[in-house]
Structure 1
Amino acid sequence: MRTATITRNTAETRIAVSVNLDGTGIYDVQTGVGFFDHMLEQLSRHSLIDLHVRTEGDLHIDQHHTVEDTGIAIGEAVAKALGEKRGIRRYGDALSPMDECLTRVALDISGRPWLVWKTAFSQGKIGDMDTELFEHWFHSFAQAAGITLHVETLYGRNNHHIVESAYKGLARALRTALEIDARKSDAIPSTKGVL
């Protein structure tokens, strides 16, 4: 089983994350930010990554450190669970429709972190969460996981649908990219021989 546990303690946050990349989408998420919990639950459910998250952050200031550091910890856990990445499909993509909204996500588990974010919101908050923090979470996650990640909302009006389609698209793309390729389960998927 490809599993990992990460503990991240700073002056701003205390975080414990466990992942099982070969799970069934079981989640237990508590960050203190309700809508953020909902998005991480979507990530787990649709990627089939079992995800356990406990975050205690300085929410009396704002949600920035909580969201950022949780993204880093989940990314680090995914990278650790992947190990040398032997046998993975490496690439994944998904079109994620949600009612009037459609988001495209493509990724490469390359070891070269990058985020292209072409998603915008028409309001500053969803629930009590600042919408600017979603891009920041995707950036933190991609950096820590070592993933090249492209997220583009092709169209959509409802802000809840826009962000949820991004998380579900990431989940479905990860599900594909993390799968072991039965035809090359012993190989590193790169001509370099390392990722």
Structure 2
Amino acid sequence: MKERTAEKERKTRETVISAKLNIDGSGAAKINSGIGFLDHMLELFAFWGHFDLEIVTKEADLKVDIHHTNEDLGIVIGQIFKEALRDKTGINRIGSQSAPMEDVTASVTVDISGRGSFKLILGTAAGNSPQAQDGYELKYAEHFFEAFAKQLGMNLNIKIENPSIDLHATLEPVFKAFGIALDQATQIDPRRKGIPSTKGVID
């Protein structure tokens, strides 16, 4: 099997981000995004997905806000996954996984269909609403996932049951489950000889 790897440097007026990916890796991650909380989440994602992932934010307007950097990270990671998967021949395409942390359970379902969409269903737990941690908020995770899904061309549905006021406890199982689900979806099924679509193509 050909190596499923990709490398990219994305430059905008707000950020310069370099990224490198090996889908069939060992879970090794070297993440320096400039957003410490997100670094940890991406390390979990790579570890549980068995992806070798390197990210370096070389320039960013973090003194203004983390919004641009956070969203641009989702964009560039989605782009390198799409590039590494090429025409998607033989992949499972669909993956689904649940993961717990303390009282929180996160369920993630992905379909690399060529149609990028993101949906978050956030349950309630005694009125708990996850609070910002180290400047990172739940809305930033939503923006990250939406950008990732759009660039890869993936339907990404996330459900969080019994969310905690602790953002770390709420998002850690999400990133773990996302890594496992995307690993499932990107794995090669030896029974499938072509592209996993009755249309014969995935854009």
Q: Give the share of equivalent positions with the same residue, in percent.
A: 39
Question: How far, CA to CA, are the matches of 1:123 and 1:177 in structure 2?
Answer: 29
Question: How far, CA to CA, are the matches of 1:10 and 1:119 in structure 2?
Answer: 32
1:108 equivalenced with 2:111 (yes/no): yes
1:35 equivalenced with 2:42 (yes/no): no
1:66 equivalenced with 2:69 (yes/no): yes
Counting matched residue pairs gives 194
Question: How far, CA to CA, are the matches of 1:181 and 1:130 in structure 2?
Answer: 37
- Runs of 4+ displaced beyond 6 Å: none
Q: Which residue of 1 aligns with 2:94?
A: 91
Q: Which residue of 1 aligns with 2:55?
A: 53
Question: How far, CA to CA, are the matches of 2:30 and 2:122 in structure 1?
Answer: 27
- Spell out, residue by residue over 1:67-120, the C-alpha distance to the aligned partner (whole angstroms, 9 max, x if none): 000100000000000000000000000011111110110010000001011137
> Which residue of 144, 167, 177 corresponds with 1:137?
144
Does the aligned pair in 1 maintain the 2:122–2:163 contact within 8 Å?
no
Question: How far, CA to CA, are the matches of 1:62 and 1:119 in structure 2?
Answer: 25
Question: How far, CA to CA, are the matches of 2:103 and 2:167 in structure 1?
Answer: 11
1:176 equivalenced with 2:187 (yes/no): no
Deviation at 1:123, TM superposition (A): 4.1
- Spell out, residue by residue over 1:39-69, the C-alpha distance to the aligned partner (whole angstroms, 9 max, x if none): 1111100101110001131101010001000
Unpaired runs of at least 5, structure 1: none
SS at match of 1:129: coil
1:75 equivalenced with 2:78 (yes/no): yes
Q: Which amino acid aligns with 2:182?
A: L
TM-score (norm 1): 0.96
Q: Which amino acid aligns with 2:79?
A: E
Question: How far, CA to CA, are the matches of 1:45 and 1:135 in structure 2?
Answer: 21
1:164 equivalenced with 2:167 (yes/no): no
Unpaired runs of at least 5, structure 2: none
Q: Which amino acid aligns with 1:179?
A: Q
Question: How far, CA to CA, are the matches of 2:183 and 2:122 in structure 1?
Answer: 22
Deviation at 1:7, TM superposition (A): 1.1
Map of 1:140-159 to 2, 5 A cutoff?
Answer: 140-157=147-164, 158-159=166-167
RMSD: 1.2
SS at match of 1:126: coil
- Spell out, residue by residue over 1:149-173, the C-alpha distance to the aligned partner (whole angstroms, 9 max, x if none): 0001022323211111111111010
